[in-house]
Structure 1
Amino acid sequence: MKVKDIKPFQKKISLLCKVISKTEIRKVVSRLDEIEHKVCEALIGDDTGVVYLTLWDLSIENLQEGKVYSFENLYSSEFKKSLRLNLGRFGEFKEVSQEIEVNKENNLSKEV
């Protein structure tokens, strides 16, 4: 799948994307487990566009800016009327050696 094809509320999304940037890490208390967690947004993209991926705890450090990753089992959602990708319980990613060009002009997280 390509970034431009992502729609809200899809499941089992697989992508090959480059990490463009990550926001500052915030600390939040989860409503589910009432434990403090770290969270940040990573702007990831391919040749068709970019989208924000929400990262929690350990995945924040494991995903590095400028690297290309193969993402599996992501799901999409809306946060503050903006498209977001999420790793969830079954989502995973691994670094790949492939280089890709990124179309930063088409930001899917700016509109839903």
Structure 2
Amino acid sequence: MSDPVSGISRQDVQHLAGLARIDLSDAEIDHLAEELPAILDHVAIVQQAAGDDVPAMSHPLPVDNVFRPDEVRPSLTQDDALAGAPASDQGRFLVPKILGEE
């Protein structure tokens, strides 16, 4: 393994925790100040594993669309769809206003 990343202070950990909006105790800050260099060292090793000839990908296997083809088929008319609605207005479902709207 290569030399671990050094130079991570308590203040660095506190700053990162603040950016991430994570509340850490003094003990957690001390622990992470010791552990983060090793974590970053491992991340650097993993980053070296993929060379320039390896394309970036979101999935290791191809993902295919599993949806059926989009075909126009007979469906409900607007009147049929609104027939069961408790209320409608101008061809749309009418629902109670919410969120303090006037």
TM-score after normalising by structure 1? 0.19
Larger radius of gyration: 2
Structure with the higher fraction of residues in helix conformation = 2
Q: Which has the higher contact order (CA 8 A, sep 6+)?
A: 1
Structure with the higher fraction of residues in strand conformation = 1
